Amino acid sequence: MTLRLGEERPVRLPAADPGSSWTHEVRGMTSAVHVKRMWTSDPYPEDDEDETPSRSREMVFMVRARSPGRATIRFSCPGGTT
What's the CA gap between 55 and 65, in Å, rounded? 30
**Is 20 within the bounds of a domain?**
yes
Residue 50 included in any domain:
no
Query: How does pLDDT run along the chain (82 residues), one tens digit per residue?
Result: 999 999 999 999 988 777 788 999 999 999 999 999 987 766 555 555 554 444 567 889 999 999 999 999 999 987 655 5
Angle at 41 between CA 49 and CA 71, to 5 degrees: 160
Q: How many CB atoms lie within 10 A of CB 82?
A: 10
| Model pTM above 0.75 | no
Domain assignment present for residue 81? The answer is no
Residue at 51 is within a domain? no
Amino acid of residue 76? S
Residue 60 to residue 74: CA distance in whole angstroms: 14
> Is residue 63 one of the residues assigned to a domain?
yes
Q: Structurally, how many domains does the chain consist of?
A: 1
Which domain does 33 fall in, by range? 1-42+56-76
